[in-house]
Amino acid sequence: MTEAQNQKQPLLSVRDLHVSYGAIKALRGFNLDVYPGEIVCVIGSNGAGKSTLMNAIMGNVKKQSGKILFEGKPLEGQSFQVVTKGLSLSPEGRKVFAPLTVYENLMMGSFPVNDKEKVKKDLEWVYTLFPRLRERRSQYAGTLSGGEQQMLAIGRALMASPRLLLLDEPSLGLAPIIIKDIFKELKRINEEGVTILLVEQNARQALLLSHRGYVMQTGQLVMEGDAKELLHNPEIQAAYLGTGKKAH
């Protein structure tokens, strides 16, 4: 148990979550807790159900059964209602609005925020985190490089002033050096008070960044624990990190 866990109630709790797409079961009883101030990652291979978890939290897919609690209260409604409660998602594949400018994309992120001063402050913060976005603010998002688009997707999610930032595969399709840059900024975002939950196929980077990790396999939780411990666990090394000796 980390210090954070001892003191506070979880910011986000997922309890026995089941989600199906028709006959296909994507999540079969998943459990997860995120405490305030933490960075938590869910790792797992392609198709394990990681994105489904994110979409279920955001109200984008219907859950079959189970509970999702945010600050102790059930998280219900469609995604546009969920965003107003203090969590936002940087979706898989970035999904920036290609025909809008960088600035307009960020303004879309601040849609649920009505306080103009707050929007101004958040914009300044995002530009400080990602100076590249300030340089390119009047450029169309579709003309940005993959790394810049990922920065924009994260910045756009931050514009909603979330207490919990959800990140779906922020390293997808990016060069290792750019991944490093982006993860450095994620650490900084966390240090400035935003709790982070990320799902990643890039297990090494995710575990290096996180405080705690969950391992997901075919929609189920197979292991959880301190990120450092997971990083050195021989089974995890063999299955997700491609290093170390085979576990058997």
Partner 1 sequence: MDTLIQQIINGLSLGSVYALIAVGYSLVYSILLFSNFAHGGFLVIGGYICYYTLAAMGHNIWLSGLLAMVGAGVVAILVERLAYKPIRERTNVTLYLLIASMGMSIVIENIFVVTVGGRFRALPPVIPTDPVNFFGLATTSAFDLLSLGMAVLFLAALQIFLSKTKWGLAIRAASYDLRTSGLMGVNVNRLISIVFFVAGLLAAVGGIFLSVRYTLYPQLGFITIKAFVAAVIGGLGSLPGAVLGSLILGLAEMLTAGFISSQMRDLVVFGMLVLTLLWRPSGLLGKQVSEKV
Question: Where along the sequence are the contacts to partner 1 (CB under 8 A)?
Answer: 58, 60, 78-80, 83-84, 88-89, 91, 95, 97-100, 104-105, 107-109, 111-112, 140, 142-146, 149, 156, 160, 173
| Minimum distance from residue 23 beta carbon to partner 1 (Å) | 18
Considering beta carbons, is residue 69 or 113 the nearer one to partner 1?
113
Neighbours of 22 (CB within 10 A): 5
Fill in the amino acid letter for 16. Answer: D
Considering beta carbons, is residue 145 or 243 the nearer one to partner 1?
145
| Minimum distance from residue 93 beta carbon to partner 1 (Å) | 10
| Minimum distance from residue 206 beta carbon to partner 1 (Å) | 22
The H-or-E segment that residue 57 falls in is: helix 50-57
| Minimum distance from residue 33 beta carbon to partner 1 (Å) | 23
Rounded CA-CA distance 65/216 in Å is 18
Considering beta carbons, is residue 22 or 99 the nearer one to partner 1?
99
Rounded CA-CA distance 20/75 in Å is 19
Fill in the amino acid letter for 151. Answer: M
Considering beta carbons, is residue 110 or 237 the nearer one to partner 1?
110
- At residue 144's C-alpha, the angle toward residues 141 and 150, to 5°, is 85
The H-or-E segment that residue 119 falls in is: helix 116-129
Considering beta carbons, is residue 170 or 213 the nearer one to partner 1?
170
Cβ partners under 8 Å of residue 217, min gap 6: 44, 45, 48
| Minimum distance from residue 111 beta carbon to partner 1 (Å) | 4
